[in-house]
Amino acid sequence: MLALIYFIILAVIAVGGALCVLFARHPLYGALSLVVSMLSLAGIYGLLGSPFVGVVQVMVYAGAIMMLLTFVIMVLNGARDSRTPRFDKVSLFVFPAVIVLGGLLGVALVSTPFAFDAGTLRGSVALTSATLFDTEASGHGYFILFEAVGLLLLSAMVAAVLMAKRRLGTTDETEGGEN
């Protein structure tokens, strides 16, 4: 009962934050409300019994990524069109389509019987580390995946540095990248 109440509170905050993102005029407001939404999601993760994911959510998402985003928004704030209209003709098509999609999925969800299982494992740090690094118990798969993600992050960083350097970006290259 208590869990449900917590859940409802957190869910309302999360949805509210998300709606703020959708309707915000300025990206900065949007970013801030997104942080709120993510924080409440972290709470829900904890509520559901995956505290480690929640913590990572707070640290990486709400902390690092959103900070980066906010920073960039502030840097580029002088853009002449940072206040573009929120919605246009495309939205007229997108809204019904997405709502139909959501409706379909919702129907599917509601009509499918499933429930929490009492025997689920708690997503603690211990469990996570054991799964990721104890290769004898859980096989090599996760470990290799973990290494690969590390490599991906590294290469993403390198790519970002390279792209952001002024000299390297010629007009042609950017257009190619965009397409």
Partner 1 sequence: MTNLPLWLIPLFPLIGTVVLAAISLASTGSKKGASEGIVGGLAVLFPLLAFVSTVVIGWNMPTQGVQETLGTWIDIGSFKASFGFLFDSLSRIMLLFVTGIGTLITLYSTGYMHGDRGFARFFAYINLFLFSMIVLVLSDSLLLTFLGWEGVGLCSYLLIGFWNADVSNCKAANKAFIVNRVGDLGFILGMITLAMVSSDLLSYRELSAFLRDAANVELVNILLPIFAMAGLLFFIGCTGKSAQIPLLTWLPDAMAGPTPVSALIHAATMVTSGVYLLARLSDLYVLLPGVMTVVVLIGLLTAFWAAVAGLFQNDIKKVLAYSTISQLGYMFMAAGVAAFDVSIFHVFTHAFFKAALFLGAGAVIHALAGEQDMRKMGGMLKKTPVTACVMIFAFLAIIGFPGFAGFWSKDLILERLYVSGPMGPFLYMMALLTAVITAIYMGRLMVLTFFGKYRGGEESEKHIHEAPASMLIPMVILSLGSIFAGFLWAGLIPGANLFEQTLAPVVGQAQAAFGHASVHVSPWLFAVLGTIAAVVGMAVAWKLFANRRIPLPKGSSAPEGFGATWTFCFDKIHGIVISAFRVLAWVAENVVNRFVMMLQWLVGGLGELLGDFASGLQVAKVRLQMALSLVGVIALVLIVLVYGGLL
Partner 2 sequence: MELQAVYVQILALILFVIGLLTAISRRNVFFVLMGVELALNAVNLSLIGFSKTLPGDLSVAGQIVPLFTIAVAAAEACVGLAMVILIFRNQESVDSDNYSGMKG
- Which segment (44-52, 62-70, 97-105, 134-142) binds partner 1 by CB under 8 A? 97-105
Give the distance from CA 19 to its chain's centroid: 15
DSSP summary character for residue 121: P
Distances (CA, A) of 46 to 39, 56, 57, 158, 172: 11, 11, 10, 34, 47
> Looking at 19, 59, 60, 107, which residue binds partner 1 (CB under 8 A)?
107
Pattern 112-151, partner 1, x by CB under 8 A: x---------------------------------------
* 42 neighbors 62 (Cβ within 8 angstroms): yes
- CB 16, min distance to partner 2, A: 10
104 binds partner 1, rule: CB under 8 A: yes
Work out what residue 55 binds among partner 1, partner 2, none; the CB cut-off runs from 5 to 8 Å by kind.
none
**Residue 40 burial class via C-beta count within 10 angstroms: exposed 0-12, middle 13-18, buried 19 and up:** buried
Where on the chain is the footprint of partner 1 (CB under 8 A)? 90, 93-94, 97-98, 100-101, 104-105, 107-108, 111-112
